[in-house]
Structure 1
């Protein structure tokens, strides 16, 4: 019998880890497309604001607030993708001197410590959302808690990637593979 997803076999040794990877793939792809959407909306809004201000001599009232909101969402949605592949600021001068096995164990320990921080951030952002829920943004009738929702999502998504690092499970690519000839992945 042929496995439904043979590309997962090389990435996880247990069925729990395979299911975890499939779940993470769905979350990563959703987040990937949301980053593209929020960045695109931010770019279009800023371009429209510049056009309105300098060509039409008017202004879009909510452009500053919405572009800031899209920027915050873009950044916080993108953070877990960096955590997933280890793109973050780090100084590894001391760790680089250790044997390879010790480096792996130290990486797992740091992933565990970071996971604890993300779990705390997730919990604290729930409280911040509750505190800000009644407050509306000045130019649009949307709760100010929407900024903290991005933090909540980022912390939860990052926590899942850190758990994968603790398990030493290789992540799957967030971006979909190229489907046509001539495209790169």
Structure 2
């Protein structure tokens, strides 16, 4: 399976994110937040209108459940890199905080590297041929890129989610929305996660951040809001 052009596309997305963030960091941050907010709002809106339609008018949209599942998956896959970037993933740091500063830094870098390797393995498993694994006969072993390319080549449709009739007639689309459209965020999200993990490695090495997790979020929230009731 030729995966060059999907891999180049992901590389272009990551490169664009990197360059834009260097020049417009606030704008990129707002973009990420807006994407997550829009996805969450869409999930809420579709779920609410579906409940009203079902119990109020005994009707509803047949593809609503599948649509909200896809949106929820997109929010998770896109949000995991945002969480690494802002250090808001929950983690346990009680033990490593007791280590000497140099050892603590080494462990923090190791953790960030593990996140990168996790994302990279899920994104593309072809590197396993270096340790003797045979991935030439099983598309699933090529990771998210191979899975998405497999769906793209076949154009298989989703179970319930369909294009509106006007889109089918205007653009000559098939009845059901293709799975590759719904699964697009899988390789994109993993590529962004790998990118943010590498950023975390560099940031920790330079002393710009301690960890890529929030190990004591509750303590931070208490400290930030301890005087709120006095105001």
What is the TM-score of this pair, normalised by structure 2? 0.59
Q: Could you tell me how far apart the structure 1 residues matched to 2:30 and 2:63 are? A: 29
Unpaired stretches in structure 2, ≥5 consecutive residues: 1-17, 125-142, 163-175, 210-231
Tell me: CA distance 1:46–1:20, structure 2 relative to 1, closer, same or farther (3 Å).
closer
Which of 133, 143, 148 in structure 2 is aligned with 1:129? 148
Which whole-Å deviations, capped at 9, do the CAs of 1:94-126 have from their partners, x for residues lacking one?
312211222112111221122122122222111
The number of aligned residues is 154
Where does residue 158 of structure 1 map in the other structure? 193
Unpaired stretches in structure 1, ≥5 consecutive residues: 1-17, 172-185
1:50 offset after TM fit, Å?
0.6
Where does residue 96 of structure 1 map in the other structure? 97
Where does residue 31 of structure 2 map in the other structure? 30
1:20 offset after TM fit, Å?
7.6
1:77 offset after TM fit, Å?
1.2
Which whole-Å deviations, capped at 9, do the CAs of 1:111-158 have from their partners, x for residues lacking one?
112212212222211111022232211221211233432221211111
Q: Could you tell me how far apart the structure 2 residues matched to 1:24 and 1:104 are? A: 29
Structure 1 residue 148 corresponds to structure 2 residue 174? no
Where does residue 78 of structure 1 map in the other structure? 79
Where does residue 9 of structure 1 map in the other structure? none
Q: Could you tell me how far apart the structure 2 residues matched to 1:90 and 1:24 are? A: 29
Q: Which structure features the higher share of helix residues?
A: 2
Where does residue 138 of structure 1 map in the other structure? 159
1:30 offset after TM fit, Å?
2.9
Q: Could you tell me how far apart the structure 2 residues matched to 1:88 and 1:55 are? A: 40
Structure with higher Rg: it is 2
Is the contact between residue 125 and residue 149 of structure 1 (CA under 8 Å) also seen in structure 2?
no
Q: Could you tell me how far apart the structure 2 residues matched to 1:77 and 1:24 are? A: 19
**Root mean square deviation of aligned Cα:** 2.4
Is the contact between residue 116 and residue 197 of structure 2 (CA under 8 Å) also seen in structure 1?
yes
SS in 1 for 2:177: coil
Q: Could you tell me how far apart the structure 1 residues matched to 2:66 and 2:50 are? A: 12
1:87 offset after TM fit, Å?
2.6
Q: Could you tell me how far apart the structure 2 residues matched to 1:19 and 1:67 are? A: 32
